[in-house]
Every structure is written in C-alpha cells, then in structure tokens.
Chain A
Amino acid sequence: MQRAVLDRLNGDRAAERAVALVTALGGGAQALVYPDGEGAGDALPEAVTAAAKDALRADRSGQVEAGDETWFVHVHNPPARMVIVGAVHITQALARMAEAAGYAVVVCDPRRAFADAARFPAIEVSTEWPDDALNRLTPDHRTAVVTLTHDPKIDDPALEVAVRAPVFYIGALGSRRTHGKRLERLREKGFTEDELGRIHAPIGLAIGARSPAEIAVSIMAEVTQVRRTPPAPAGEGSS
C-alpha cells in the first residue's frame, strides 16, 4: 500500500468519513472510493466502483470479480451509533457495553440530575430533549435508539422521531402493560401500526435479567441480533 493511500485512509477514519479501500489482488492497483462514487488513487473499472458503493451502503467488505481481476473491497464506515434516552442506572452499564462493542454512544436526558457527566465517564451526555437530540443527530440505518426512562414525557418524543427514521433498532423499556398504554398514546397521535411495530418492547432478549447490568446485556444482545441476523423472508412459517 502506498503511504499516501494509508495516510488519506487514516485521515478519513479520523474524520469519521465513510470510505472503501479497493485493492486488485493480482495487479496490486489500489484506490479509495467514497459513498458518492468519488475516488482517489488508481483508476478503477466502473463495475468495481459501483460494487464499492454498494458495499459501503451494505456495510460489508468482500471480494468482487471484474474482468480477469479479483478485487477486495474493504469498507471503513464510521462506528454505528446508539442513542440511549434516559441517563438511568441501566444506562450506566449499557453505555459501556455498547462502546466496547464498537458503538459511538450518546446518552440523552433532559433531567440534569441524571445526565451528570460524572456518572458517564468518557461518554457523550446531552441534556437536550430527546426529539431535539435525535433530529440533530440525523439517525440513519446504522443507528440504534433505546429509551429507558419509563417516563412518557421523555420516551415518547424520542420514539416519535425514531419510528419515522431509518434506524435499524428501536427498543423501549417497560412492561407489556406500560407498552400497551404507550401504543395507545402513539396511535392517537396518528402513528401507523407499521411504525409502532418497529419498537422492540418489552426491550431486550428474555434471559431472565434482573440487575441493571444484566438488563443491559439483554438489550445489547437484542441490538446485536437485529443488526447481525438477516430478517426472515416474508411469509416464512406460514403456508
């Protein structure tokens, strides 16, 4: 790898710019490709540039055949994000776990007593209202949104933004009964069943979690499952 390519790649990574490094396994040609199709480095066949753009969108590195050459497309996307609404006890454990799993974490709670940076060392903490915070962060298909306050005044505005954003995961803490009431409130505001069906609630995989750290494990497991397991094909299980 040419040093200039490495330096540019490291610069993009530091600036959290999505970029793919494309390498010809036989010939050794190498170039960077950005999501808009712009490139830097050696010239690439059009099909390879297109494959690199697709790989960036799918967040998946891999080999591509084009002509007589095999290319390796190495996707360097910025970290996936997790927005946690509610700076509660579970959040203290979940934020650390999500960071360890590679997420950029933002904790959001307008209640200043909770959203105390000292409770969340090295984690970004915001005291904005959750809907303002989410609108500012422009949640995308690599963002997870988790609401943990139990308080409709705080959780609902976050969910209202999240269900209409292309996020890959939405989870809300609360019992089935709490969630039932939540759904009623959101239906009255005009949210559709498709939108509301995107909310995972009660949140987390059923592993019998009790302590805040155990509940954080169950949430982290569910987020991982949704992110890493392809959705079942439509109609599966019915005949």
Chain B
Amino acid sequence: MSSEQAGQEDILGTAARWRDEGREVALATVIATWGSSPRPVGSQLVADGEGRFEGSVSGGCIEGAVIEEARKVMGSGAPSVLEFGVSNEQAWEVGLACGGTVRVLVERIE
C-alpha cells in the first residue's frame, strides 16, 4: 500500500497546503477494489472547490464523478463512500473500462 508513497505525488501535503491557502479541500481515497482496477487501495486524489485536482483513484475513468462528489462533500461536510463497477449502471456512465470495482471514500479537510 502506500508506503509506496515516495515516488508518488505528495497528495496529503498538497491537501494541507491548499487548505492553508484558504481553499475548500476534499480528499478521495481508494478503500477497496475487486477484480482488475488500475490504482491500488490507498491511492488518493485531492480536489479543491474550483475543480482543480491532483493524484488519481483510477486510470482516469471515474475522476470526473469523484470530483463532483468532492464538491458536494465540501458543502455538506459529511463524508461519503462511492462505489463504481461493471454491475453499477453509473460505472457505464463514467466509463470504468477496466471491468473492476472500486470503492472510494470522499471526505472534507476541515
């Protein structure tokens, strides 16, 4: 898991820095995967209130939906858990091409 974080972007550092700049910030984390999925458990993405983001939770397939959810979570403050997979109609919409299932936690940085 994310001991592999050297060599990756420093998502948690970015989250703190953006928050210091006064931006609204939410963090998305892959918490479970089934079947083939491009990013392992622990992978993270940070998004701000204007839709800017760094990092990834898939190969680019579900980032759009996750960033939209991040914006809702920034507003409500309530964490949410999203699931994307072939059995889920939403997955077709967002296009999880790999055929796997991925569960993502989205939380606001207070």
Contacts and interface: CB of A to CB of B under 8 A. Distances in A.
Interface of A: 1-3, 6-7, 9-10, 13, 23, 25, 28, 59-63, 72, 74-80, 99-104, 142
B90 interface: no
Given A28-B79, A62-B41, A72-B31, A13 B107 contact: no
A59 B1 contact: yes
A9 B13 CA distance: 10
Nearest to B103: A63
Given A28-B79, A102-B8, A142 B105 contact: no
A2 B15 CA distance: 12
Contacts of B109: 1, 3, 6
The B interface is mostly helix, strand or loop, or mixed, namely mixed
B4 to A, nearest CB: 4
Contact of A61 (B1, B16, B78, B81): B1
The 10 closest A-B pairs by CB, nearest first: A77-B3, A102-B7, A79-B6, A61-B1, A102-B4, A61-B42, A72-B31, A102-B6, A61-B41, A75-B1
B2 A75 contact: yes
Contacts of A1: 27, 107-110
Given A7-B16, A25-B81, A104-B6, 15 more contacts: A3-B19, A3-B110, A6-B15, A10-B12, A25-B79, A28-B107, A60-B41, A61-B2, A61-B42, A62-B32, A62-B41, A63-B32, A76-B5, A77-B2, A77-B3
B56 to A, nearest CB: 16
22 contacts: A1-B109, A7-B16, A10-B13, A23-B79, A23-B105, A25-B31, A25-B79, A61-B1, A61-B41, A61-B42, A62-B31, A62-B41, A63-B31, A72-B31, A74-B29, A75-B1, A75-B42, A77-B3, A79-B5, A79-B6, A99-B6, A101-B4
Nearest to B7: A102
Contacts of A2: 110
